[in-house]
Amino acid sequence: MPPSTHSNKRKSILPLHIDTASFTTPPAQSNYPWRRMVAWKRQSVFIVFLTLFLVSAGLNIHHYRTPPTVSIVLSNDPLPPPSMPVLEHAIIVAGHAIYTGPPDTQSLQTDEHWTLEPYQKHGQVFTFQQHIQKGIALLKDNPKALLIFTGQKGKTKTKTKLFIFYYYYYYYCLFRIGHKVVTFFLSLSGQTRPAAGPHSEAISYWQIAQLLLVNATSDTLLPRMVTEEFARDSHENLLFSFCRFSEITGHYPSSVTVVGFEFKRSRFQDIHRASLRYPADRFEYIGIDPPHSVLGADDWKTGEALYSYGPFQKDKYGCHGTLRQKKIDRNPYRRRHAYRASCPALVDLLNYCPANNKLFAGLLPWDKGLF
């Protein structure tokens, strides 16, 4: 069999060609610069949003972790320097009622000239005067003491009675004490038209003190008798009086005497003083109770335990429940003190309202003997 003609033919193989230029030469740049612009803008927007998110998160964390602070705005309202920086001792007399009668000592004895709660009638008005007289006596004995009458404004039963009281009291002071004292009286009351506004327990006690003063000593004692008109309960009677002392002297009292009812002694000594962490060895309480009572002394103690000592024992700073509601009810004219501005060393204590009745642990002016 003859050999196939196809067996002698060689198949042609095409040479393999590899273009190495594609490995060594970079690709040509895009002819569309707008694409690069769009990509850059997208990255910028992402960076801006990321920055805003981080800043917002940081501010929120700082807000919830940092305790709130009070911003004190200093207005163009100048105050004179403290008038009596040499005083060291605070005598505090808390007000319990408002006198609306004429300026004579006989009228002071009758209930009809006072705004009284039902339980205060039949014997307590004489004790109110004893508290005032004791405060004056202590002031006479200590030339470095400041007497503070403390008590919030309350509603009087009739404006007519209040007007009559102011009218007679003005002329009584004018002829007995002198025009200088009357001017001080009017500026202290804060009312340019006596019949138009409310009257405070503190002012009422201050006026009664003028009736009880002797002419020979009034000029020396009067400058050291001031009022505190914002306290709505016994805790604030003590705390706000510290602030008032600071406003007058520029510092805090190195010793304190409180004049009040004997059955309130435990409340002031064991709760209020302790809640302010004021040194026990620098605190004195003088208790004077009414000579008699229709209810009896046992009922006083029972009422004190149920309605005052007991609630304050569970709520030292009086800022929850029934004690908070009492403050609202005792502020009919919707007034607010300015001690956060004038008493900055106690601003944290003034704002303190713990949910667990925990004792205030911040720095106080009387810590380590600093007053």
Give the residues across from 147 on adjacent strands. 91, 225
Which carries the bigger pLDDT value, residue 77 or residue 309?
Answer: 309
Identify the pLDDT of residue 370: 66
Q: Which whole number is the average pLDDT over 136-142?
A: 96
The rounded distance, in Å, linking the Cα atoms of 2 and 4 is 6
Q: Which residues contact 283 (CB under 8 A, 6 or more apart)?
A: 255, 256, 258, 269, 273
Judged against a pLDDT cut of 70, whether residue 340 lies above it is answered with yes
Identify the pLDDT of residue 38: 58
Q: Which whole number is the average pLDDT over 148-171?
A: 56
Taking residue 335's Cβ as centre, other Cβ atoms within 10 Å add up to: 13
Tell me the pLDDT tens digit for each residue of 63-74.
444 444 444 555
- Residue 259 to residues 129, 263, 315: CA-CA distances in angstroms? 11, 12, 23
Identify the pLDDT of residue 32: 55
Which carries the bigger pLDDT value, residue 90 or residue 51?
Answer: 90
This prediction has a pTM of 0.71
> End-to-end distance of the chain based on CA atoms, in angstroms?
135
Judged against a pLDDT cut of 80, whether residue 15 lies above it is answered with no
Q: Which residues contact 308 (CB under 8 A, 6 or more apart)?
A: 234, 264, 267
